[in-house]
């Protein structure tokens, strides 16, 4: 069951249009920093999707409610890395994860945009949803304050492993922030599963972009 009434927001045009020789670079400004993102044509995960813009904007605007400073943050399906970069600028210890084929572009964007910052150095790691979690991220060692996920739900067959991954990392005290474009019945079916497992609140809706931003925590019995 969903709790609370969401705030209605608009995704601001935070990117800076500029004449560039590279058609594949996008320039954004968050938390007073210019961020340059290289998108990859080959990979689905390597384009900036609206959910990442929505959650980046929300974290920037709600730093008191969600204070990331010195917190341990895991992003699953980090894609181009924009959101992980914003979390890093906000002071978090960030681990950005994605599929092996996305990691090169992800690492490039993250190191390029955080190298001169006096922040915790972000880590980039492979994470295949639902696979080898105990081996790669043993619970005894890894505990995260926040799990970030944006646009992880679309037409793909990995929704059950995705849910299992969310459940695995979402421990008592962990906050899952998930922003997604809702278009298909499968998107709403996944939302229903999330609501059945977690205490789930819709924090914000971005109607023009069909994006909902949700907060989920382990249900207290």
What does the pLDDT read at residue 21? 44
> Quick one: pLDDT at residue 193?
97
Q: Where are the beta strands (DSSP E) in 14-61?
A: 25-30, 33-38
In the prediction, which pLDDT does 19 show? 47
Instruction: Give me the residue spans of the domains in the chain.
Output: 47-218
Could you state, in chain order, the average pLDDT of each consecutive group of 10 residues for the chain (221 residues)?
A: 77 57 69 86 68 95 96 96 97 97 93 91 96 95 97 87 97 97 93 96 94 95 67
Measure CA 41 to chain center.
Answer: 20
**Looking at residue 41, what is its pLDDT?**
63
Strand partners, 35: 28
Contacts for 13 with CB less than 8 Å, ≥ 6 apart: none
- The pLDDT score that the predictor gives to residue 11 is 79
Query: What's the fold here for domain 47-218?
Result: Rossmann fold (3.40.50)
Give the pairing type, strands 175-181 and 211-218. Answer: antiparallel
């Amino acid at each position: 069951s969903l709790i609370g009434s969401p705030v209605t927001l608009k995704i601001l045009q935070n990117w800076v249009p500029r004449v560039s020789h590279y058609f594949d670079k996008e320039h954004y400004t968050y938390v007073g920093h210019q961020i340059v993102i290289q998108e990859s044509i080959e990979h689905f995960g390597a384009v900036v999707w609206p959910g990442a813009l929505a959650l980046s904007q929300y974290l920037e605007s709600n730093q008191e409610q969600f204070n990331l400073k010195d917190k341990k943050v895991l992003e699953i399906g980090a894609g181009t890395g924009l959101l992980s970069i914003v979390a890093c600028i906000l002071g978090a210890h960030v681990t950005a994860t994605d599929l092996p084929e996305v990691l090169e572009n992800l690492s490039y964007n993250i190191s390029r945009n955080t190298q001169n910052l006096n922040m915790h150095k972000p880590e980039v790691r492979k994470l295949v949803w639902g696979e080898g979690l105990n081996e790669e991220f043993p619970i005894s060692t890894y505990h995260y304050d926040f799990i970030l996920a944006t646009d992880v739900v679309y037409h793909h067959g990995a929704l059950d492993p995705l849910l299992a991954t969310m459940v695995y990392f979402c421990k008592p005290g962990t906050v899952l922030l998930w922003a997604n474009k809702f278009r298909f019945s499968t998107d709403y079916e996944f939302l229903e599963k999330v609501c059945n497992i977690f205490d789930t609140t819709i924090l914000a809706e971005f109607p023009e972009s069909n994006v909902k931003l949700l907060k989920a925590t382990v249900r207290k019995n």
